[in-house]
Chains A and B, each alone.
Chain A
């Protein structure tokens, strides 16, 4: 029986119907494919090249950022 996992993404708690998932799977869930972004997990950068291996766990804190206009 799977329990839902809760991840804090950009300050908001999100629930997923998995116990854990790879960063690759998370990117699909969040509909981020084709966008330019970078992810930090619990204060550490998650390199794009390792998305297939990186496991996101219940309770993780993620920051997902992009480039916006600024001076």
Chain B
């Protein structure tokens, strides 16, 4: 298939799989899994750095050079618009002015469900200040549309709770969001295995962002490869246009004529 790029804020990507970099056993495994996934966009968290740390201590950035990947700094762990905004100002300074970010404002530590009120507030401020905001949100079609209307460059509804591996719990809402929005819709959170990713793509999502489904697999590197294939298979099935479902009426695949008597 040629030229089916995913365009986010004017930037073209060939891979529709976006991956997180958390929960791996070491940076070498992180890098191997990401290479196997074919992902070009990787999310990173912003955290206090160790002061006076051992000079030889390895950092994530050594294994994932920012020249080879598009970094997507996130605001994971932020529970207010102000914290999320502060975090992304630091991220922009850290990454030399890079302005493509993932905004997530959480509402509850048990479910990690997004706080869409604070998310909307933060998105408005960040967009005004020149950020390209990819936003994690609930699968509420009205909120998704509002986030698009205020200028978010990609809307990223959950499939199910972060890290739950429960898969797509409400394909109907995702379909409404996909039908209503013009910016890319990327399922973020909840994917558990390859078929979940394929279903998201078959629904017409523009991409899928996942972390735990790969990192917590028994063999993360093999699962990264499975996810790459699932995303590609789901995308091609969506573009190819599936057959219509026929309830209660079978249709033989072989000719009815020429049967031996």
Contacts and interface: CB of A to CB of B under 8 A. Distances in A.
Interface of A: 9-12, 14, 30-32, 35-40, 43, 45-48, 63-71
Interface stretch (B6-14, B88-96, B142-150): B88-96
Contact of B59 (A11, A30, A36, A70): A36
Given A67-B45, A67-B94, A71-B45, 9 more contacts: A45-B89, A65-B47, A67-B59, A68-B45, A69-B30, A70-B74, A70-B76, A71-B74, A71-B76
Interface in B22-79: 22-24, 27, 30, 43-49, 51-52, 55, 59-61, 71, 73-74, 76
A36 B76 contact: no
Interface residues of B, number: 38
Contacts of B160: none
Contacts of A40: 86, 89-90
Contact of A45 (B24, B45, B73, B90): B90
26 contacts: A30-B51, A32-B51, A35-B49, A40-B86, A40-B89, A40-B90, A43-B86, A45-B93, A64-B51, A65-B46, A65-B48, A65-B49, A65-B90, A66-B61, A67-B45, A67-B59, A67-B73, A68-B44, A68-B45, A68-B47, A69-B22, A69-B27, A69-B30, A69-B44, A69-B45, A71-B20
Contacts of B189: 71
B137 interface: no
A35 B48 CA distance: 13
Contact of A66 (B24, B27, B47, B211): B47
A43 B238 CA distance: 47
B21 interface: yes
Interface in B109-135: none
A64 B89 CA distance: 12
Contacts of A64: 48-49, 51
B94 A38 contact: yes
Contacts of B95: 67
